[in-house]
A and B are shown apart, each in its own frame.
Chain A
Amino acid sequence: MDKIKIKINKLNLWYSNFQALRDINASIREKKITAMIGPSGCGKSTLLRVFNRMNDLVEGVRVTGEVAIDGENIIHADTDLVKLRKNVGMVFQRPNPFPLSIYENIVFGPKVHGTITNKLELDQLVERSLKSVLLWDELKDKLNKSALRLSLEQKQRLCIARLIAVKSDILLMDEPCSTLDPQATAKIEELMRELKNNYTIVIVTHNMQQAARISDDTGFMLLGDLVEFGRTEDIFTKPQDKRTEDYITGRYG
């Protein structure tokens, strides 16, 4: 039986008076890719941001219900947010490397957290992290170059490597390929397939074919409701809810 990494129970979220998430219940399996799909404004990015409490940065946000990661409820006033965000990393639509060298981008997190200070260990960490995103061979001789000079796809890989370096074990990806061309998208998707051997990945995407290609589970959201959640093959071949069918067959709207 698959282990549940994130258990969402009766989750509601308001931005001031606007309710963005309504009574969400779902179980996200460990070391699987879960895709959240739905039209713009349906709440999928908001849900993603609940998993590392990024919504806390928005004024007037209010959350009820439970989100348990490895059995521990993170919707709690005394949750250690630094530890949570180290464990649950996020990759954004537009890759956002720091204006530092490739090397410094990777070691930035571990240095801030004070987990590694030894130069040899940092070197090994950079090699290991870049290897896990298949960038090592391309960049091993350019580690001191600015990360801002990389291609978009390389930047996105570097951002993923940065999370790996701080030992995140949940990777949240908010439209990670939307600025990439089809070839770069294919490479990131291949990387995601590799990464799921060791990480739990939750991806928000507008690209339904991408969700169908790479995810194990899919959730369809509409107006803050999680309308349907299940195995990807079921959602895309035999959705149970007419709203899901209408959305994925392009009848919605």
Chain B
Amino acid sequence: MQRHLDEELKELHKDILKMGVFAQEAIFKSVEALKDRDSQKAKEVIANDSNIDELELAIDEKCIDFIARYQPMAGDLRFIATGMKINAELERIADIAVDISERTLELIDKPLLKPLIDIPKLSVIAQNMIRDAIDAFINRDVELAKKVVLSDSEADKLRNFVQEELVNDYLAKDPATASRAVPLLLIARYLERICDHTTNIAEDVVYMVEAKVVRHHREQL
């Protein structure tokens, strides 16, 4: 039977997809700004965050309205609950892109400590994870969601590598490098946090499709 609420659910799908695209773009741009030492781009990421915040509020409102009017059950309920959580995760991801841009602005007038190789790599992992997590959400693809969850360890490893390199090769040897090394350390940490948020999204997708809770129980994947 065709249901009116299916139309509304489709709209919600589209909004969350849009939110995912915005978050992905924010990260891409923030890391581009860092690589290109482009203050304009960094400022754009910061300025655009309010649009993402607005979209987050609009999606939240739609979900609450949907619950109030339809009292969803079963698959519909899991979709709405997951949609609300994913929405919040994506907004946090966009906030982290702002943090990256702010650190970029701190670094922009200072000479580069070293050529940027691993941070862009980490950024690619983060962006791919978000893309796959959103695809998994849209297509209800549990296998892709599981792949996202498992790729988080790759991000952890790379973040640890960047951290060790910056601490051992620069900070320990020459504390005067702190003003240039600490922002990079933070950016690596931010990118890894983005991957953590993305992992949460993928775990929520598994719950949405299979009603199986894998958050904090990765062994159940």
Contacts and interface: CB of A to CB of B under 8 A. Distances in A.
B211 interface: yes
Interface residues of A, number: 15
Contact of A237 (B1, B3, B5, B78): B78
Interface string B57-79: 00000000000000111111110
A237 B71 contact: no
Contacts of A212: 73
Contact of B74 (A209, A238, A253): A238
Contacts, number: 33
Contacts of B76: 249
Interface range, B side = 10 to 19
Contacts of A248: 73-74
A11 B73 CA distance: 29
B73 A208 contact: yes
B203 to A, nearest CB: 16
Which of the listed residues A236, A238, A245, A252 has the most CB atoms from chain B within 10 Å of its own CB? A238
A135 to B, nearest CB: 30
21 contacts: A208-B73, A212-B73, A236-B73, A236-B74, A236-B77, A237-B73, A237-B74, A237-B77, A238-B74, A244-B74, A245-B75, A248-B73, A248-B74, A249-B3, A249-B76, A250-B1, A250-B3, A251-B1, A251-B3, A252-B1, A253-B1
Interface of B: 1, 3, 5, 71-78, 211
Interface of A: 208-209, 212, 236-239, 244-245, 248-253
